[in-house]
């Protein structure tokens, strides 16, 4: 289904499935007299929450992204993310702001499988990108969010697109529900950038734990305190190191799983997640969960990796058929831990 947001809703196609109906219901809600929109958080690090967000602030967020990507009236955007969350809602708001043509595709792990025409703008999760590599050349501007982009996926993207003569630009996003989607981007293709660059009007700083603080008055009147450990460069760039929530205390040593996952994913194609499991002697025992069938060669390869510290090497490596994820694609560490501890 394609809706042209430069025209009244009465002139659009009729929805043919539940997701198309939900998207059109949100468009209708947007044009209601209410000044706020209710948004659900993903729940990837705790219990999902409902936020009430001012429409004016969502428009400010949309303008930042549209300006950065130079989106213009008549461009074609594609929404393939759940409309319940900020990621999906903001795709609609950006389309309304710039009067884009919005192609509606039901969220799935392979949303581009039936797409054969060029798309000017799309937002996807890493898992969706992983399953859509053969169609990425059709997208001019792609932003990837919901979870960090692994080194393996970056390599696959580059290999797929480097000889395609495609104008595709791909960015990894940084943001959260409270910042109304992303407040910073870093390019993955055609260039690979190490640092996230924040949008104009966004101020960043560190607290006493070296966690990121965000002040974006156009998006949120409060200073947002994150639990994300970062390194700041030139006041408007930062590098993500890991989440304090996910830190593992093993034998008195603090371990940040994201750093270890980055190393492992540079060497294996599988999804990999480090967890801390309760242990009487160590407090928490560091283990690695790999998605896929049990593979002794893979285990041997991981144990032979050059970890920075000896205690970074996992005590155990377990395999699971499928790592649980939230509806918007993030690894659900809480559910995974429950699964392993059964």
pLDDT in tens, the chain (342 residues): 999 999 888 888 889 999 999 999 999 999 999 999 988 766 555 566 787 899 999 999 999 999 999 999 999 999 999 998 889 999 999 999 999 999 999 999 999 999 999 999 999 998 899 999 999 999 999 999 988 887 888 989 999 998 888 899 999 999 987 888 899 999 999 999 989 999 999 999 999 999 999 999 999 889 999 999 999 998 899 999 888 888 898 988 889 898 899 889 888 888 899 999 988 888 999 999 999 999 999 999 999 999 989 999 999 999 999 999 876 567 889 899 999 887
Overall residue count recorded for the chain in this entry: 342
Which pLDDT score, from 0 to 100, does residue 50 have?
A: 82
Which pLDDT score, from 0 to 100, does residue 329 have?
A: 66
CA nearest neighbour of 176 among 204, 146, 152, 144: 146
Partners of 248 in the beta sheet?
255
Which pLDDT score, from 0 to 100, does residue 266 have?
A: 84
Question: CA dist 106 to 74, 93, 279, Å?
Answer: 22, 18, 43
247-341 and 2-243 share a CATH fold: no
Q: What is the rounded radius of gyration, in angstroms, for the C-alpha atoms of the chain?
A: 21
For the chain, what are the domain ranges?
2-243, 247-341
d(CA 320, CA 340): 9
pTM: 0.80
CATH class entry, domain 247-341: alpha beta
Q: Which fold has domain 2-243?
A: Rossmann fold (3.40.50)
């Amino acid at each position: 289904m394609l809706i042209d947001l430069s025209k009244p809703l009465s002139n659009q196609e009729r929805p043919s499935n539940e997701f198309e109906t939900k998207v059109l219901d949100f468009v209708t809600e947007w044009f209601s007299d209410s000044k706020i929109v209710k948004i659900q958080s993903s729940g990837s690090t705790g219990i999902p929450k409902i936020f009430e967000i001012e429409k004016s602030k969502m428009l400010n967020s949309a303008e930042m992204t549209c300006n950065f990507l130079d989106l213009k009236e008549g461009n074609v955007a594609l929404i393939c993310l759940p409309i319940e969350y900020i990621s999906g809602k903001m795709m609609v708001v950006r389309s309304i702001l710039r009067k884009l043509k919005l192609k509606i595709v039901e969220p799935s792990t392979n949303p581009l499988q039936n797409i054969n025409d060029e798309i000017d703008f799309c937002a996807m999760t890493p898992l969706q990108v992983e399953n859509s590599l053969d169609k990425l050349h059709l997208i001019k501007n792609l932003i990837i969010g919901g979870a960090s982009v692994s080194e393996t996926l970056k390599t696959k993207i580059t290999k797929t697109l480097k000889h395609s003569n495609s104008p595709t630009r791909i960015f990894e996003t940084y943001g959260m529900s409270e910042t109304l989607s992303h407040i910073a981007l870093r390019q993955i293709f055609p260039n690979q950038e190490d640092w996230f660059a924040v949008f104009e009007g966004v101020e960043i700083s560190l607290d006493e734990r070296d966690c990121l603080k965000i002040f974006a008055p156009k998006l949120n009147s409060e200073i947002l305190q994150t639990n994300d450990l970062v390194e700041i460069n030139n006041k408007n760039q930062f590098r993500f190191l890991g989440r304090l929530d996910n830190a593992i205390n093993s034998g008195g040593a603090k371990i940040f799983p994201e750093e270890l996952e980055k190393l492992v994913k540079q060497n294996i194609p599988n999804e990999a997640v480090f967890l801390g499991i309760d242990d009487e002697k160590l407090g928490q025992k560091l283990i690695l969960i790999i998605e896929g069938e049990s593979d002794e060669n893979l285990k041997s390869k991981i144990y032979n990796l050059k970890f920075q510290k000896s205690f970074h090497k996992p005590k155990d490596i377990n395999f699971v058929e499928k790592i649980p994820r939230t509806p918007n694609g993030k690894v659900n560490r809480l559910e995974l831990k429950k699964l392993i501890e059964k």
